Amino acid sequence: MPAVLTSAERSHVAFSVNAAIARALVAVAVALSCVSALAQDYPNKPIRIIVPFAAGGPADVYARFIGARLQDSLGQPVVIDDRPGAGSIIGTDAVAKSAPDGYTLLMMSNTHTVNETLIPNKPYQLMRDFVPVATINYSDLVLVVHPSVGANSVGELIRIAKANPGKLNYASSGPGTPYHMAGELFKAMAGVDIVHIPYKGSSGARTDILGGQVQMMFDAVPTMAEHAKTGKVKALGTTGKTRSAVLPGVPTIDEAGVTGYEAVIWLGLMAPKGTPAAIIAKLNGEITKIQNRPEVRQEWIGQGALPMTMAPDEFGRYLNDDIVKWERIVKISGAKPDQ
C-alpha cells in the first residue's frame, strides 16, 4: 500500500514546493531585471558594424548612412569595418565569432541567403549562428553594357550572346552576391551562355565595366545610375517588377522580353546568436525611427532604394523564405561558388 503522509509531512512538502517555486520566480525576476538594466545601459561604448563587402558598394554606403544616424540617437560612436573576401564569408565569420553583446553587428544582404545553398560548407550557418536585428532597404539592379557592345536593348544583347556563345562576359562582386545571381538567373531564363567574372567587391567590377575590361554587369541602381545617365555605360534593363523611378526610360527585363525575370538587392542587420532580445529590440526601434524620417525616405527613393521595415521576428521569417527561394534558383541555374 502507498505510504500515507501525515498532516505535518504534507505541510512540509507543500512548503518545499512553494519555496522552490518562489526561488524560481525570484531567479526569473532577477534575470529579467538584469536584461532590462543591460538594455537601458546599452550602448556604453562604440558599436562596430562589420560589412563583409568592398567599400563603395550599397552595403558599405548604407551601413555608413545608418551608422551615422545611430551614432546620433544612441550617443556612442558607430564604426564601419569593411572586411570583404570569400563571397562575404570572411567578415561574416568574424561577426559569428564575436561576443553576443550588441557591440558587433553584421551588415548583410541576400548574398547571405544565397550562400546557405551555394556555399554549404561555411564555418557558420546563418539561422543558427545569428539573430535578425532589422531590415534596411532594397533596390533594383540594372543590366548595363559597355558602349563597345553593339546592343541597345535586352533583345539585341540576347541575340548577340546566342550568336557568340561563351564570348560575352559579365562582372559581379563575387560568388553568391545579388549581382552574380542576377546574371545566372538571366542566363537560365534567356537561354544564353555568358561567362561570369567574379571580383572581390563591386567597386572593382564597376571600375572594369566602366573601363571596358568586361562587357556587362548587373549593378545596384543607386551606384550605377549616374554612370548610365552620363553615357559611360548603356542601361538595357532594370530587374524589378516595375520601372525604376531613377531610370524611368529603361524598361524592366521582364518588360523587355524575359518574362517573369526579377532580382533585387536588399540589406539588413544581424547580430551574433545570444545577443539579448532587449538590445535587439532597442536597435530595431532606433533603425525603424531612422527609416521613417521623411527626409530619409525621400533621399533613398531619389537614389532608387526603398526602406524595408520589419520587426526582428518578421525579418527571421523573411530570411527563411529567402533561403528557400534562392535554393531553388541556385539549383536551376547550376551556379557554383567558384564560377
Between CA 66 and CA 289 the distance in angstroms is 11
Q: Please state the separation of Cα 253 from the chain's center in Å.
A: 23
Which residue from 293, 308, 282 is spatially nearest to 43, judged by alpha carbons?
Answer: 282
Q: Encode 3-20: b = buried (16+ Cβ within 10 Å), e = exposed.
A: eeeeeeeeeeeeeeeeee
Q: Encode 107-122: b = buried (16+ Cβ within 10 Å), e = exposed.
A: bbbbbbbbbbbbbeeb
Q: Please state the separation of Cα 177 from the chain's center in Å.
A: 10
Which amino acid, residue 218? F
Range name among 10-19, 39-48, 93-102 with the lowest pLDDT average:
10-19
pLDDT of residue 112: 96
Mean per-residue pLDDT for 264-290? 97
User: Residue 61: CB partners within 8 Å, gap ≥ 6?
Assistant: 222, 223
User: Residue 295: CB partners within 8 Å, gap ≥ 6?
Assistant: none
- State yes or no: pLDDT of 46 exceeds 50: yes
pLDDT of residue 259: 95
Range name among 7-16, 39-48, 49-58, 95-104 with the lowest pLDDT average:
7-16
Q: What count of other Cβ atoms lies within 10 Å of the Cβ of residue 252?
A: 19
CATH class of 140-238: alpha beta
pLDDT of residue 247: 95
pLDDT of residue 225: 93
Q: What count of other Cβ atoms lies within 10 Å of the Cβ of residue 200?
A: 15
Average pLDDT value for the chain: 90
78-82/47-51 β-pairing:
parallel
DSSP symbols for 24-57:
HHHHHHHHHHHHHHHHHH--SS-EEEEE-S-TTS
CATH class of 47-139+268-333: alpha beta
Higher local confidence (pLDDT), 135 or 11: 135
The secondary structure element, H or E, covering residue 321 is helix 312-333
pLDDT in tens, 303-339: 989 999 999 999 999 999 999 988 988 887 778 776 5
Domain boundaries, the chain: 47-139+268-333, 140-238
Quick check: do 47-139+268-333 and 140-238 share a fold? yes
Between CA 245 and CA 209 the distance in angstroms is 23
Percent of the chain with pLDDT over 70: 88
pLDDT of residue 12: 61
Mean per-residue pLDDT for 228-248? 95
Between CA 231 and CA 276 the distance in angstroms is 49
Mean per-residue pLDDT for 126-138? 97
Chain position carrying cell 545608418? 66
2 falls in which pLDDT band (50, 70, 90)?
very low
Question: What is the number of residues in the chain?
Answer: 339
Secondary structure (3-state) at 192: coil
- State yes or no: pLDDT of 128 exceeds 50: yes
pLDDT in tens, 164-189: 999 999 999 888 889 999 999 999 99
30 falls in which pLDDT band (50, 70, 90)?
low
Between CA 150 and CA 305 the distance in angstroms is 30
